[in-house]
A = this chain, B = another copy of it.
């Protein structure tokens, strides 16, 4: 039977999502914890909706794993919160599980998802970001002591919306499409922290795509590039050596969207067919 686990992590001390020998990764630590709590075999595997890079954080990551029905039932019998409590006790403080539940029929954390929402946080004040939040915010001063120009950022972002070939913002992989649908992209100033937030949502993202988009837009916000620059990169349809990739630590996976339960299996089949192997 399949479990859905919603998780959150501070990516600072992880070498990204994907299990790697001898490196501390989110997948590796989570699988080890589940093996302990579920007394499951070491071969237990977890799949996720957004395979974050080293240093990238997550608040709303969604994962699934398949476990034996009897093992699950024996822990669940100790009360509705027992699985969550036991997992929390085993996991380190920088990796938390916010919910564990049996997944609906046809659910696949990765392929059933219809949207991923990320937030990239930037502090543009001269003194640097709030020390309590510094681990997940990029310090990037605006131009000549002025704050980042949010109007320019939002205007330049428009051209990227909708279905496009994002090859200019992706690392290409053989046989995989770089066509994605950008559903939302907007820049706001958070009224509480004063940070600049870039909220971005798409059906899925290629590898390094969000950070490449931030890297293309930031020079517009600080006045180094014209508003037309990100659109030119997109039209070029290949990596431009002048385009930067923003640092990992400003980026957080905030939310993953799924269709109604009866659509989960169909969506998984469609996404797999369209995006090809090994792409989020």
Total A residues in contact with B, Cβ cutoff 8 Å: 33
Chain A residues with CB under 8 Å of chain B are 8-10, 57, 59, 79, 81, 84-85, 87-88, 93-99, 125-136, 145, 192, 252
A141's closest neighbor in chain B, by CB?
Answer: B85
Q: Which residues of chain B are within 8 angstroms of A99 by Cβ–Cβ distance?
A: 127
Smallest CB–CB gap between A1 and chain B, Å?
A: 21
Smallest CB–CB gap between A217 and chain B, Å?
A: 23
A84 touches B126 (CB 8 A): yes
B127 touches A84 (CB 8 A): yes
Query: Given the complex of chains A and B, what is the CA–CA distance between A136 and B132 in angstroms?
Result: 7
Query: Given the complex of chains A and B, what is the CA–CA distance between A92 and B93 in angstroms?
Result: 24
Q: Which residues of chain B are within 8 angstroms of A93 by Cβ–Cβ distance?
A: 128, 131, 134
| A-B CB proximity, top 4 nearest | A10-B131, A94-B131, A96-B128, A98-B127
16 sample A-B contacts, Cβ–Cβ < 8 Å, listed by A number: A8-B132, A10-B132, A57-B132, A59-B132, A79-B145, A81-B126, A81-B145, A87-B127, A88-B126, A93-B128, A93-B131, A93-B134, A96-B130, A98-B125, A99-B127, A133-B133
